[in-house]
Each structure stands twice: as structure tokens, then as C-alpha cells.
Amino acid sequence: MTTAAPEPKANMGQPIPRYDAVAKVTGKAAYAADVPLVNPVHAYLVTSSIAKGRIDSFDLAAAKRVRGVIAIVTHENAEKLRDAKLFSNGGYASTTNQPLKSNEIAEEGQIIAIVLAENYEAAREASHLVKVNYTAATPTTTFDSLGVTSAPAKGQLARFKEDPKVGDFAKAYNDAQVRFNGEYETPPQHHNPMELFATSCVWNGDSLTIYEPSQYVHGLKNGVAAQLRIDADKVRVINAYVGGAFGSKGSMTPRTAIIASLARQLRRPVKLVATREQGFNIATYRAETRHHVQLGADNDGKLIALRHEGWEISSRADAYAVGGTKTTTRLYDCPNVESLVSIVRADRNTPGFMRSPPEVPYMFALESAMDELAFRLKMDPIELRRINDATKEPIGGKPFTSRSLMACFDEGAKAFGWANRKSEPKSMSDGDWLIGYGCAATCYPTQMAPAAARVRLQHDGRTRVEIAGHEIGNGAYTVIAQAAAEKLDVPVEKVSMFIGDSDLPPAPVAGGSNSTASTCSAVMMVCDQIRQRLFKAVMPRESLVDKAKETVGIGKTPVTEAAKSDQPLDREKAFDALGVSVVEEYGEWKPDGAPMDSFRAMYNGQMRMVGGPEMKDKIAYAFGAEFVEVRVNRWTHEIRVPRLLGVFAAGHIMNPRTARSQLMGGLIWGMSSALHEATELDERYARYVNDNLADYLVPVNADAPSVEVIMLSEQDDQINPAGVKGIGELGNVGTNAAVCNAIFNATGQRIRRLPVRLEQIET
């Protein structure tokens, strides 16, 4: 006789397959533009072909003659919507350059007209027949262009208020035994999510439903309502799935309120699917950056001086800055630190978040510079990092809640075979190929924001979880279901998930890698409320009285303690005792240190994110170490990356399967940010040249033949109830530096400007 082993509980920490896997691979998952509409009008954007100047006139005669065209809307006849404030200045918008307001043109690709037609083909055909007479002025495009204006970024954004600084950098640098300084540059990049920037708007009386891929349905709902001057509760945003976003769908773009206003006027649903080319201009992007890093050290490698100055491009309209020195000034132990970030204004669309926004460019500079310093010191680059490892960040002296950076390096070095590396460049080869090994640190702030959830448990274990989280490929459905299954002790198959709808309890933007920590913490808290009700029904009254006497602290009772513990619950018995078949709870969770107005702000679609370096007396980051092997052909200078390996420690991993795929994707994207990706600018016209997936280089499988992800277990009780640090952005930080460090090891050439192109290699 055999006894079957008990099924492992499919709960937190188990590598269960994606909740949405079958829907996605069978094509059943409906994205925003897939949602069928009744008798829709199709909208097609006409965008500016100049970057600066004005529209003198339109000639719409030919366009209007196309059969099926209903109307063409320009600044001359568009409804005047209320101006939108930038998301970081208390608003919701990704840009304050509101199109269709006047004849002024402030950026290439600005929306200047919208063709409305009975079908997509007619709208598109007519758009090509719209004739525009412009008076064009000469735009300034990027760094070094005539007419750019530069100013310190400090204080211009709500989330970017400081240039971290401690000690006396100038003196320490001057006194240092070894000095290094280097200048680095990263290019503009566009997110290029597979799912295009689509918006469908449907009015039902005075209520508006918006189908749009968004990383923040509550933000979008409130932002559109403000622009339309209507009550936010009249607006509903729905997106069960988001086909990639990476920051580009995090804040409201101007298109949404415009489409909503057109639908209101036409009294018909209006559907817009912007083209990929248009997406380069009507949404945000990662702006190009420049860096100057200065490092001073003792002969034994101890850092005594560090300065990081950065410059970033933004638009004329908005002072957007990512400001990554808040991380690079805190990564290593160093007593004298200085930093400064400046915004350089050009005639461009406003940039925004793109996966690991500040760390990708800023850590490229720092982690390249650390490798350069190690070489100068004739020291292994991992040892240099060990000597400068920190338990407290140097700026405010706050302790890290946990920090496994060196454990990641040590594990990675073993797994990668780092000991086989020869530190002298050009000393490893295989036939025509020079071989190089490189590594770099990665880190990403642990962030959390208030969230609310509703959970309903039935007597038979069926569970319904409602929270306006977002499935942007991050595994949100899966990990939130796991959190509920774990807490309520039900099989995960019995959990039904409802996310991606602003009628659900609000959750924060799926950005800044906060989403799993925030949503799971909220859902776990609400599940505890359910457990409390059930425990209360079944715990014997005498034991409650007895235990109450020895109780543990204010607000703690035997029931609440039992609910929070792992103590098993007899569900059927509890339901019988309560005499009900369904228990439902709603709750609002906020992280430690979130401000008093957090919950009100949450319903208003405004974030109160806490974490990273901004916590009160601690600092929370996830860490990792990345290793890269490159092969550079001696003759053609072709660069290949046969191996990528990353070791990560990010607190509790809710699901190793979804986490692994996130981190793999990160590593591949990080490698690509060194070798492939760049938006090319035509400086004469401030225009993006390669605005399509044929010319915008992204990696394919052949570019990443071996990608290995190792996750170290790490327990951190100081961050949030879920113990989660977040992994969405950790994987692609530092990889670009690791690639360049490996190229140096292979060739002796230091590439400080991304992306690396083979013509930059001279061997």
C-alpha cells in the first residue's frame, strides 16, 4: 500500500505556473484594443513633422473627401480641456504640453489633428491627406545643441529634492592616493512595449469607461476626470492585461482625455490605436544622460572620495529628472561624497520612467568607474567592492534593512567561474575571439505604497480577491492569489483574481517595483481580518478570557494574534459557528512611514510611495551581482555575449518561477542597453529616426544563448508584511556596466558611451 505524499501547498514561495498563462498562450487574454465596441468611431492621429514653430493653416479638403470620414479635429475646433499637471507636481500627466490647444508646436510628433472615421482604414487614409502649412523654427535637440538651457534639477520635482552630499569631497579627493575620473554617456531609449498605446472610450449617460493599457488605473481615472471637469467616480478604467509597459503606461498621456472628449461629442464609442512610430512621441521615453564620476581611494582600495554629477535631457515644458545619485551616492561606504544633477532643456517631448529609471544610466557610470578604479589599483573588482561594502549608507548613516551584495558576488563568482578570469586585458582568447569577463553590482530601492483590497471567502474555500493591481507581465494575478491562498489556507486554484479595473479597491501604480510588496501586503492584511472573524467564532470563550490576561500589548488580543499566526483554522467549523456561508472584508493598508493623508490620496489616484533611501531611520534596497562573458572578434570586432549570470537577493520571493522570468528579462534587457538599444536622433529636426521595431534594435534569442538566474534567500522583517523587496527592475541594472567591463577585459578598450558599436572597438 502506498500513501500519496501530501501535495505541497501552492502558496507564497512556490513556483506555481502563471494564473494567466493559458489565457495568454491561447490568445484568450483580451487587451484594451481587443475589447469589442458597439458601433465605434475610429480615430487616427495626425502628428507634427516639425519640432518647433507653429501651424499656419490646414488644408483638409482631400482628407474629408475620403469615404467614411466623419470629422477632422484640430486646435481650431477641439474642445478645450483643462490643463493637466505633471504627475510629480501633484497631477497625473506625463507631460504638460497639451495638444490641440493652440497652433504652437513644441515637439516633433505632437498630436495636431485627429481623423475620425467609420473604419480604421478610412481614418488612416485620410490622415495621409491632411496638409499642414507650418512656420518652422530651428529646434535644439540634445546636449551640445545650440540653444539648450541647463539648470540644477534640485527642487524641481516633488520626488527629487536633494543632491546627496556628506563630508568634504574636494579635500578628500585632492588628498587621495589614487584618483580616477571618467565621463560616461547613455542614449535615449524607448520602451517599445508590444502592446501599442491604445485607448477606447465609451460613454453611458454621464459615465465614462476607458479601455486603455495603464500601470495605474486609479491615477488615469482621476486624471481624465480632472481634464474633462467631471466627477472621478464617473470614470472607470479597465485593463485586465497590459502587454508590456515598463514605465510608458504609468502616467496619463494627453491622448486619453482627448479621445474621451471626442466620444462625448459624437455620442459614440471612439477607438484609437496609435501606431508604433507615434508611440515614440505621444508617450514618454528614457532620456539621454551624461555623467562625470570622480573616485578617490587609498592604495588599498578604500574609497575616501566620491562625486557623481549627472545631466539629463528634458522638454521645455517639464522639468522631469530621474536623479539617480540618490542611489549611487549610497551604494558604497565612503566618508566624502558629493553629487549634482542638472536638467538640460531641449525641444523634445517630456521623458519619463523607463524600467529601473535612475539606476540604469547612473549605475552604468558608477559601476564602470569602479571597474576602472580596480584596474588602476591592480585589484580584483569584486575585492574592491568588498572593501567598500557598507552596512550603513554614508549620506545619512542609516542602516540597510538587509544587504546581501557581497553574498551575491561570492555566489556569482563561484557559479560563473570568475577565478578563471585573467585580469590583464587581451589575455584570454579562443581562436579569432578575444574573451572578457566582467561584473557589476545591481541594486534597486525597495518601495511600497498604500493599497486597499476586498477579499471574500466562501465556506467551501472559494475565494475572490479584488484589488486594482495591474498585470503588466509581472505576475500580479499569480502572486496576489498566492498571498491570499497562503493566508486563508485554501488551494490557489480556488482563488479568483480581479485586478486591472479602477472600480476595484485602489492599488498603487505598477511601477518602481513596488507592486508585489504593496498589493500582497494589503491582501494579506485583509485576509487576516477574515481570519480574525473566523477565529473569534471558534475560539472557546474561556480561553479568550484567560489569554486576554496575559496579552501581549495594546491592540493585540488572542484572536488577532491567532489570525496573524500560522495557526490552522477549521474553516467549515468557523463558518458553521458564524452561521454564514460567505465572509467578506475590505481593508486599507499603508506602509510604515506613509503620511497621514495616504488613504485619501490613494482614492484620488495619487501615490504616497515610501521606501528606498527615503525611509525614516533605515534604508531598504534589493541587491545583486551580475556577470558577463563577452567575445569580441579580433578582425570584425563583432561582440557576442555567450553568458549572462545574475545573483539576486530581494527579500521574500513570492514565486520563483515568475521571479526568474522577470530577472531573466532584466538581464537580457540590461545587456541590450549596452549593445543594442538606442533611439537615434536627427539633430537637425529633433526627430527620432528609428521609430519602429525593425530599426530600433532589441535582442533576440541568439543574442542571449545562456542566461542564468540565481536567487539567494533573504529574510527581511523590516520592510513590509510580505517581506518582499521587488524584482521588476533589479535585473537590468548594472548589466550595461558589466558588459563594458567585460569588453575592457577582452580588448583593453574602455567604452564609456552607450550603446557600444563595433566601430568603437579598435584592436
To ligand MOS, the closest distance from the beta carbon of 575 in angstroms equals: 41
Which residue number has the CB closest to ligand MOS?
Answer: 247
Output DSSP code: residue 452: E
* CA-wise closest residue to 210 among 248, 242, 236: 236
Of 312 and 486, which CB lies nearer to ligand MOS in the complex structure?
312
CA 747 – CA 749 distance, rounded (Å): 5
Which residue's CB is nearer to ligand MOS, number 247 or number 438?
247
Minimum CB–partner distance for residue 283 and ligand MOS (Å)? 12
Question: Taking the CB of residue 189, how many other CB atoms lie within 10 A of it?
Answer: 26
Rounded Cα distance between 167 and 334, Å, is 9
Identify which of residues 436 and 508 has a Cβ nearer to ligand MOS in the complex: 508
Applying the rule CB under 6 A, the residues between 518 and 577 that interact with ligand MOS are: none
- Residue 40 lies near ligand MOS (rule: CB under 6 A): no
Q: How many positions of this chain bind ligand MOS (CB under 6 A)? A: 11
246 in contact with ligand MOS (CB under 6 A): yes
User: Does 354 sit near ligand MOS (CB under 6 A)?
Assistant: yes
- What minimum distance in Å lies between the beta carbon of 247 and ligand MOS? 3
What residues have CB less than 8 Å from 476, skipping those under 6 apart?
A: 469, 470, 499, 510, 515, 516, 519
Q: How far is the CB of 521 from ligand MOS (least distance, A)?
A: 18
614: its cell numbers: 527615503
Q: Which cell numbers in the block locate residue 45? A: 492621429
Q: Looking at 275-283, 349-357, 515-523, 532-540, which segment touches ligand MOS (CB under 6 A)? A: 349-357
Interface with ligand MOS, residue 188, by CB under 6 A:
no
* Nearer CB in complex with ligand MOS: 511/734: 511
353 contributes a contact to ligand MOS by CB under 6 A: yes
Q: Least CB distance from residue 246 to ligand MOS, whole Å?
A: 6
**How far, in Å, CA of 750 to CA of 155, rounded?**
35
Strands (E), 298-391: 303-315, 336-346
DSSP string, 136-173: E-----STT-TT-EEEE-TTSBTTB-----BS-HHHHH
Close Cβ partners of 590 (under 8 Å, ≥ 6 residues apart) = 449, 450, 598, 599, 608
328 is a contact residue toward ligand MOS (CB under 6 A): no
Closest CB 754 distance from ligand MOS, rounded Å: 18
- Smallest separation, CB 250 to ligand MOS (Å): 5
CB of 729 to ligand MOS, least distance (A): 6
Do residues 724 and 715 touch, judged by C-beta distance below 8 A?
no
- Closer residue to ligand MOS (CB): 145 or 215: 215
Question: 217 near 60, Cβ under 8 Å?
Answer: no
Closest to ligand MOS by CB, 158 or 552:
158
Structure-block grid coordinates of residue 249: 503606461
Verify binding: residue 320, ligand MOS, rule CB under 6 A. Answer: no
Q: Which span (83-91, 241-249, 389-397, 674-682) binds ligand MOS, by CB under 6 A?
A: 241-249
CB of 130 to ligand MOS, least distance (A): 34
Residue 292's DSSP bridge partners are 183, 309
Residue 596 has a CB neighbour count (10 Å cut-off) of 9
Interface with ligand MOS (CB under 6 A), residue from 223, 250, 436, 450:
250
Residue number, 97 or 356, with CB nearest to ligand MOS: 356
Q: Which of 243, 357, 591, 611 binds ligand MOS (CB under 6 A)?
A: 357
Task: Determine, following the binding rule CB under 6 A, whether residue 473 of this chain makes contact with ligand MOS.
Answer: no
Q: Contact 470/193 with Cβ under 8 angstroms?
A: no
- Distance, in Å, from the CA atom of 411 to the CA atom of 711, rounded to the nearest integer, reads 10
Angle (deg, nearest 10), helices 656-675 and 735-747: 50
Identified binder of ligand MOS from the candidate list 140, 215, 502, 557, rule CB under 6 A: 215
Tell me the C-alpha distance between 626 and 146, whole Å.
Answer: 39
C-alpha pair distances (Å), 327 with each of 362, 398, 732: 8, 13, 15
- Is 511 a binding residue for ligand MOS by CB under 6 A? The answer is yes
Beta strands in 558-620 (DSSP E): 582-589, 610-611
Residue closer to ligand MOS (CB basis): 132 or 517: 517
Helix (H, G, I), strand (E, B) or coil at 208: strand
CA distance 240 to 477: 10
* Ramachandran area for residue 171 (φ above 0: left; ψ -120 to 50: alpha; else beta): alpha
Establish if 355 lies at the interface with ligand MOS (CB under 6 A).
yes
Choosing from 219, 223, 247, 666, the residue that interacts with ligand MOS (CB under 6 A) is 247
Q: Which stretch binds ligand MOS (CB under 6 A): 43-51, 239-247, 571-579, 716-724?
A: 239-247
Closest distance of CB 511 from ligand MOS, Å: 3
Chosen residue from 445, 512, 587, 624 binding ligand MOS by CB under 6 A:
512
Closest contact distance (angstroms) between CB of 609 and ligand MOS is 10
Question: Which is closer to ligand MOS, CB of 215 or CB of 658?
Answer: 215
Which residue's CB is nearer to ligand MOS, number 261 or number 606?
A: 606
Q: Which is nearer to ligand MOS, 394 or 450 (CB)?
A: 450
**Is residue 437 close enough to count as binding ligand MOS by CB under 6 A?**
no
Residue whose C-alpha is closest to residue 725's, from 496, 347, 443: 443
CB atoms within 10 A of CB 225: 21
Residues that bind ligand MOS (CB under 6 A): 215, 245-247, 250, 353-355, 357, 511-512
